[in-house]
Structure 1
Amino acid sequence: MMKSYRELSPSPRTIMTPGPVEVDPRVLRALSYPILGQFDPEFTALMNDTMEMLRSLFQTDNRWAYPIDGTSRSGIEAVLNSLIEPGDKVLVPIYGRFGNLLYEIAERCGAEVVALDKEWGEVFEPDEVIAAIGQEHPALVLMVHGETSTGRMQPLEAIGKACREQGILFVVDAVATIGGVPVETDAWCIDAVIGGTQKCLSVPSGMAPITYNDRAERKIAARKKVERGLLVPGDAVSGNRRPAIQSNYLDLSQLQDYWGPARLNHHTEMTSMLYGLREGLRILLVEGLEERFARHRRHEAALMAGLEAMGLTLYGNPACKLPVVTCVTIPEGVDGEAVRSMLLSSFGIEIASSFGVLKGKIWRIGTMGYSCSQKNVLHVLGALEAVLIRHGAALPAGEGLQAALAVYDA
Structure 2
Amino acid sequence: MYKELNATLRTIMTPGPVEVDPRVLRAMCTPILGQFDPAFTTLMNETMEMIRRVFQTENQWAFPIDGTSRAGIEAVLASLIEPGDLVFVPIYGRFGHLLVEIAQRYGAKVATIETEWGSVFEPQVVIDEIKRVKPKIVAMVHGETSTGCMQPLKEIGAACRAQDVLFVVDAVATLGGTEVKVDEWKIDAAIGGAQKCLSVPSGMAPITFNARVEKILLQRKKIERGLADPATYDAEQDRLIRTNYFDLSQLMDYWSPVRLNHHTEATSMLYALREGLRLVLEEGLEERFARHKLHEAALTAGIKAMGLNLYGDSAAKLPVVTAISIPDGIDGEAVRAMLLNDFEIEIASSFGPLKGKIWRIGSMGYSCRQKNILHVLSALEAVLYRHHAKISLGDAVQAALDVYHKKN
TM-score (norm 1): 0.98
Q: Which residue matches 1:365?
A: 361
- Of residues 350, 355, 359, the one that matches 2:351 is 355
* Percent of matched pairs sharing the same residue: 69
- Of residues 28, 35, 40, the one that matches 2:37 is 40
Over the aligned positions, Cα root-mean-square deviation in angstroms equals: 1.3
Q: Which residue matches 2:185?
A: 188
Name stretches of at least 5 consecutive residues in structure 2 with no aligned partner: none
Counterparts in 2 of 1:301 and 1:32: CA distance versus 1, 3 Å: same
Q: How far did 1:317 drift? A: 0.3
Q: Which residue matches 1:390?
A: 386
Q: Which residue matches 1:83?
A: 80
Q: 1:68 is matched by which residue type in structure 2?
A: I
Q: 2:365 is matched by which residue type in structure 1?
A: G
Per-residue deviation, residues 95-129 of structure 1 (Å, max 9, x unmatched): 00000000000001100100111110000000000
Contact 2:56 2:181 in 1 (8 A): yes
Indicate the SS of the match to 1:90.
strand
Q: How does 1:7-406 map to 2 (within 5 A)?
A: 7-232=4-229, 243-406=239-402
Q: 1:117 is matched by which residue type in structure 2?
A: E
Q: How far did 1:277 drift? A: 0.4
Name stretches of at least 5 consecutive residues in structure 1 with no aligned partner: none
Rounded Cα–Cα distance in structure 1 between residues aligned with 2:248 and 2:99: 18
Rounded Cα–Cα distance in structure 1 between residues aligned with 2:77 and 2:345: 36
Counterparts in 2 of 1:155 and 1:390: CA distance versus 1, 3 Å: same
Per-residue deviation, residues 323-358 of structure 1 (Å, max 9, x unmatched): 000000000111100000000000000000000000
Q: 2:311 is matched by which residue type in structure 1?
A: Y
Rounded Cα–Cα distance in structure 2 between residues aligned with 1:328 and 1:236: 55
Rounded Cα–Cα distance in structure 2 between residues aligned with 1:173 and 1:297: 21
Rounded Cα–Cα distance in structure 2 between residues aligned with 1:349 and 1:131: 44
Rounded Cα–Cα distance in structure 1 between residues aligned with 2:334 and 2:171: 32
Rounded Cα–Cα distance in structure 1 between residues aligned with 2:59 and 2:353: 39
Q: How far did 1:394 drift? A: 2.4
Counterparts in 2 of 1:190 and 1:234: CA distance versus 1, 3 Å: farther
Runs of 4 or more, structure 1, over 4 Å off, are: 233-237, 239-242
Rounded Cα–Cα distance in structure 1 between residues aligned with 2:239 and 2:28: 39
Indicate the SS of the match to 1:363.
strand
Contact 1:223 1:242 in 2 (8 A): no
Per-residue deviation, residues 9-58 of structure 1 (Å, max 9, x unmatched): 00000000000000000000000110000000000000000000000000
Counterparts in 2 of 1:391 and 1:234: CA distance versus 1, 3 Å: farther
Indicate the SS of the match to 2:239.
coil
**Paired residues, number:** 406
Q: 1:114 is matched by which residue type in structure 2?
A: A
Q: How far did 1:242 drift? A: 5.4
Q: How far did 1:189 drift? A: 0.3
